[in-house]
C-alpha cells in the first residue's frame, strides 16, 4: 500500500500543477467585475433588449446575481447622443447584456490615446489620419495654385 501511494504522488502533484495553470489563464467574470470595483474604473453597461440606452458609472457593489450598485451613474441615449445624470443606482443583473471599461478611473484625467465614447478605441490613429489628410490637402492646394 505504501509503495502504491509513493507511485501516485508524482501524478497527484502533476495534476495539481496543471489545475493551477488553468486557473491562472482563465479570468472569471466575477473577478473582472471585482477588478472594476477595486480600481474604481468607469464602466459602460449595455442593457438587455434596450439598444438605445446605455448606463455608465463606477461600480461600488455587486452580488452573485450580477446586481450592480453604480455611483455617479449616467444614462446615455444612443440615438439622441445625450447624457442624463442619475446618481447612485441599483441595476438588476438580468438587465445587463454587456459591460465594458470606458478607460476612465475616478480622480484621474482622461488617458492619452483612449476615446471612451468609441468603446476605448485608440484616438492617436485618428489623429495621425487627420494630420495626413490635412497634409495632402495643403500639398494639393499649393501645387494647383502654382503655375505649370
Per-residue pLDDT of the chain (148 residues; tens, 9 = 90+): 445 545 555 555 555 555 555 555 788 889 999 999 999 999 999 999 999 999 999 999 999 999 999 999 999 999 999 999 999 999 999 999 999 999 877 764 333 344 444 333 333 444 444 455 555 445 545 555 545 5
Looking at residue 26, its pLDDT comes to 80
CB 84 within 8 A of CB 54: no
CB 72 within 8 A of CB 95: no
Looking at residue 103, its pLDDT comes to 85
DSSP string, the chain: -HHHHHHHHHHHHHHHHHHHHHHHHPPPHHHHHHHHHHHTEEEEEEETTEEEEEEEEEEEEE-TT--EEEEEEEEEETTTTEEEEEEEEEE-GGGEEEEEEEEEETTSPPPTTEEGGGTSEEHHHHHHHHHHHHHHHHHHHHHHHS--
Looking at residue 118, its pLDDT comes to 38
Place of cell 467574470: 29
Question: Hey, what's the cell of 95?
Answer: 438587465
Looking at residue 85, its pLDDT comes to 97
The pLDDT tens digits for 43-82 are: 999 999 999 999 999 999 999 999 999 999 999 999 999 9
Looking at residue 48, its pLDDT comes to 94
Distance of CA 29 to the CA centre of its chain: 12
Amino acid at each position: 500500500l505504501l509503495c502504491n501511494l509513493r507511485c501516485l504522488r508524482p501524478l497527484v502533484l502533476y495534476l495539481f500543477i496543471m489545475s493551477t495553470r488553468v486557473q491562472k489563464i482563465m479570468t472569471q467574470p466575477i473577478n473582472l467585475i471585482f477588478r472594476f470595483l477595486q480600481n474604481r474604473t468607469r464602466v459602460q453597461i449595455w442593457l438587455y433588449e434596450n439598444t438605445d440606452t446605455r448606463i455608465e458609472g463606477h461600480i461600488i457593489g455587486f452580488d452573485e446575481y450580477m446586481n450592480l450598485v453604480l455611483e455617479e451613474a449616467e444614462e446615455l441615449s444612443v440615438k439622441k447622443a445625450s447624457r442624463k445624470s442619475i446618481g447612485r443606482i441599483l441595476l438588476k443583473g438580468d438587465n445587463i447584456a454587456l459591460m465594458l471599461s470606458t478607460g476612465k478611473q475616478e480622480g484621474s484625467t482622461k488617458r492619452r490615446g483612449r476615446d471612451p465614447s468609441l468603446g476605448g478605441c485608440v484616438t492617436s490613429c485618428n489623429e495621425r489620419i487627420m494630420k495626413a489628410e490635412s497634409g495632402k490637402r495643403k500639398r494639393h492646394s499649393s501645387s494647383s495654385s502654382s503655375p505649370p
